[in-house]
Structure 1
Amino acid sequence: MTDIPIIKVYVSLGSNIGDTEDHLNQAVARLEKYEGIEPEKWSETYQTEPQGLKDQPWFTNQVVRFDVDPELWSAEGFLSTLQAVEGQMDRVRDVKNGPRTIDLDIILFGDRVIDSGSYLTVPHPRAQERAFVLLPLADIEPELAFPDGTTISDALQKIDYRTEGKKIYQD
């Protein structure tokens, strides 16, 4: 990477089809092959109750922090690359909140606030409502605050969830 400051990009990964942990690892491995994208911190993996559509396998979720070179990557370009990796891994988008081999969502792109309509919103619009995002995020950056000043612990206090070990239940 260059000498200019990197951007810390937090990506939520999820899978509930096949070898879910392998799918998460494959996605990170595919992303790190791109110049200017370096995985730096990984949360533990969590087993998460499906949101919305309940009649499907539980998800394996994780958050990874990538250090990204801003001279090579815009938020939109990074999202396009995430979607390309999802496609390479046979992600199908036919059922909202349905089963998937891999789901890759940008949670934070540095401290940027982006709303480009239906294509990209950063911070992720539902990140502060999802324990399966907040708990793994707390693993790697417990003091992190969203651009609006909300800390991870503040966000967790506002939602209804429970954990049993590394299992997350949230309706």
Structure 2
Amino acid sequence: MWHFATLGLGGNLGDPAAAMAHALQRLDEREDCRVLDVSRLYRTPPWGKTDQADFYNACAAIETRLEPEALLFACLDIEREMKRVRSERWGPRTIDIDILTYGDIELHVDVLTLPHPRMTQRAFVLLPLADIRPDLAVSGRSVASWLSASDQTGIQVANENRAWWRG
């Protein structure tokens, strides 16, 4: 059975756009995942820890046969394959893949909380997510509604072509 999920991707070390494209291609190559839609690519100021380079961010809508935790582990495997090192919370990174939503599931386990607990506070997530699913309900409101109440200062479209990830 296929399940709908949304992912947030980002990075600010090396070539983040190429890293995110590679991660999406790796997911799409799997027999248990299909990339349905990808947002435009955004350049965003750092959040949380602000003394670092700007980030690049995007969101993707996927279908998967994996259960939520298995999808998380698949994403973490791709991050590890791409040499992601987790040294500092909100710090610089080559690639980050977050599960934002998984169907209508609300989940709170040690390794995963769904929907992503801070996504509605982050314009760098909401803006690309609104490109692909503005009507998606998250915590009782649409992505577009959350976005209208968010601070989008400094966020710029880096690539209008939503096929940027295909290479």
Match of 1:120 in 2: 112
Match of 2:17 in 1: 21
- For 1:99 and 1:53, the matched residues in 2 are separated by 9
Aligned residue among 38, 49, 56 for 2:52: 56
Q: Return the index of the structure with the highest Cα Rg.
A: 1
Give yes or no for the alignment of 1:8 onto 2:4: yes
Partner letter of residue 104 of structure 2?
D
**Structure 1: unaligned runs, 5 residues or longer:** none
Measure how far apart 1:164 and its partner are. 5.7
Identity rate, percent: 37
Give yes or no for the alignment of 1:140 onto 2:136: no
Match of 2:77 in 1: 84
Partner letter of residue 77 of structure 1?
A
Partner letter of residue 97 of structure 1?
W
SS of the residue 1:162 aligns to: coil
- For 1:50 and 1:65, the matched residues in 2 are separated by 23
SS of the residue 1:66 aligns to: strand
- The 1:77–1:164 alpha-carbon spacing in structure 2 relative to 1, beyond 3 Å, is closer
Alignment length, in residue pairs?
158
Q: Which runs of 4+ in 1 moved over 3 A?
A: none
The answer to whether the 8 Å contact 2:49/2:91 transfers is yes
Measure how far apart 1:163 and its partner are. 5.0
Measure how far apart 1:159 and its partner are. 2.8
- For 2:77 and 2:56, the matched residues in 1 are separated by 20
- For 2:104 and 2:145, the matched residues in 1 are separated by 18
- For 1:112 and 1:39, the matched residues in 2 are separated by 19
**Structure 2: unaligned runs, 5 residues or longer:** 159-167
Please report the TM-score for the alignment, with normalisation by the length of structure 2: 0.89
Partner letter of residue 166 of structure 1?
V
RMSD value, Cα: 1.4
Measure how far apart 1:153 and its partner are. 2.4
- For 2:127 and 2:155, the matched residues in 1 are separated by 13
Q: Which has the higher contact order (CA 8 A, sep 6+)?
A: 2
Aligned residue among 123, 141, 146 for 1:155: 146
Alignment of 1:95-106 (within 5 A): 95-106=88-99
Aligned residue among 91, 96, 101 for 1:108: 101
Measure how far apart 1:8 and its partner are. 1.2
Match of 2:165 in 1: none
- For 2:91 and 2:155, the matched residues in 1 are separated by 23
- The 1:164–1:137 alpha-carbon spacing in structure 2 relative to 1, beyond 3 Å, is closer
Q: Which moved more, 1:154-163 or 1:105-114?
A: 154-163
